[in-house]
Structure 1
Amino acid sequence: MARYFDASASARIDTRAYERGLRRYLGRMSADVRKAVERTGTDVQNEARRLAPVDTGRLRSSIVARRTNGRGVGYEVGTNVNYARDVEFGTAPHVITPKNGKALYWPGAAHPVAKVNHPGTKPRPFLRPAVERTEFFFRRNLEQLRGR
C-alpha cells in the first residue's frame, strides 16, 4: 500500500463550539458538522491541486485528502511524491554528485562532469496556502448545509 503524506499539511477543526451552537440552532448538528468537515477536506485537496505547479502532472494528481482519527473530526491533505517537500519549501544551493559511476552526463552536456553545483530552487507553496483557507471553506460549507 502506498504511503501518502510524506509531505502533508493538517488542519484540526474544534467542532465542539460549532456543534453546541448549531445544535441549538438546527437540532441536528453532528451529522452536519461531519459532512461540512468532509467537504472542507475535499475543498482543501482541490485548492492544493489548483495551486500545485505542473510539469508532468504527477505532483498534482498525487494530492489526496484523508480523514484523521482522534478527538473531534479532522483531515490531512498530502502527497507521496518524494520531491513535494522541495517544491513546497524550496531547496538551498547544493552539490549533485553521481550515485553510480564516476561522472554525470545528460543530453546536451559538453562533456561528463564529476559534480554539479545546483543553485537551489525557490519555494512554490501549494499545501500551506490551501490549508490556510480551511476556515473559509468550513464556514461556507456550514452555511450551505444550513440553507438546506
Structure 2
Amino acid sequence: MPQIQKEGDAMPAVGGDVTMVISGSEIGQTIYVGYTAYYAPFLEYGTAPHIIEPKEKAALHFDWKGEGVFFTRVKHPGTRPVAFVGRAAAQWNVTVNQVVQELRNRAGVRA
C-alpha cells in the first residue's frame, strides 16, 4: 500500500510516479489529499475495457514477447483500481491526531 507522503514527495505507482499531496495550514482545519499526475484518476478508479488507437501515427508500437510489433488497434482489458487516495484518506484519523498533538505540544496544552 502506498504510504502517505509529505507534499512534493514522489510515490511510485503503476505507469510512473504519482505525487501524493497532503497539505494544510499550520493551524488550519482542512487537510487536502490528492494527486498531481494527469493519469492518477485512471489508477485511482480503474478503467473499463477500451480500444486504443494511434492519434498521430499509422500504428502503435510495442515490445511484445521480446519483439517489436505494430498494431493499428488494441483492445485494452481495462485496469483494476488502485485506490491509493481512498486508502490514504482512511489514515486521516491517525494523521490528524498526530498534527493535533504536535500543535498541543507547541502551545503547551496537555490533552
Normalised by the shorter chain, which TM-score bucket?
A: 0.5 to 0.7
Deviation at 1:117? 0.2
Please, which of 119, 134, 138 is the counterpart of residue 92 of structure 2? 134
Runs of at least 5 residues in structure 1 that lack an aligned partner in the other structure:
1-42
Q: Normalization by structure 1: what TM-score? A: 0.52
Q: Is contact 2:21-2:36 (8 Å) kept?
A: no
Matched residues in 2 for 1:79 and 1:143: separation?
Answer: 26
CA contact under 8 A between 2:5 and 2:21: conserved in structure 1? yes
What is the TM-score of this pair, normalised by structure 2?
A: 0.66
Cα contact 2:48–2:79 (8 A) shared by 1: yes
Q: 1:55 to 1:89 in 2, by over 3 A?
A: closer
Q: Name the counterpart of 1:58.
A: 17
The 1:75/1:141 distance shift into structure 2, 3 A limit, reads closer
| Partner AA of 1:67 in structure 2 | G
Q: Which residue of 2 aligns with 1:116?
A: 74
CA shift for structure 1 position 102: 1.9
Per the TM alignment, residue 55 of structure 1 is displaced from its structure 2 partner at its CA by 4.9
Larger RCO (CA within 8 A; separation ≥ 6): 1
Counterpart of 1:74 in structure 2 is: 30
- Structure 2 match to 1:100: 56
3-state SS of 2:33 partner: strand
Query: What RMSD, in angstroms, separates the aligned Cα atoms of the two structures?
Result: 3.1
Evaluate the alpha carbon distance shift between residue 86 and residue 102 of structure 1 in structure 2; reply closer, same or farther with a 3 A threshold.
same
- Structure 2 alignment gaps of length 5 or more: none
Number of residue-to-residue matches in the alignment? 97
The offset of 1:65, in angstroms, is: 2.2
Give the 3 Å change call, closer, same or farther, for CA 75–143 of structure 1 in structure 2.
closer
Q: Is the 8 A contact 2:5 2:22 kept in 1?
A: yes
- Whichever structure has more helix as a proportion of its residues is 1
- Percent identity for Structure 1 against Structure 2: 29
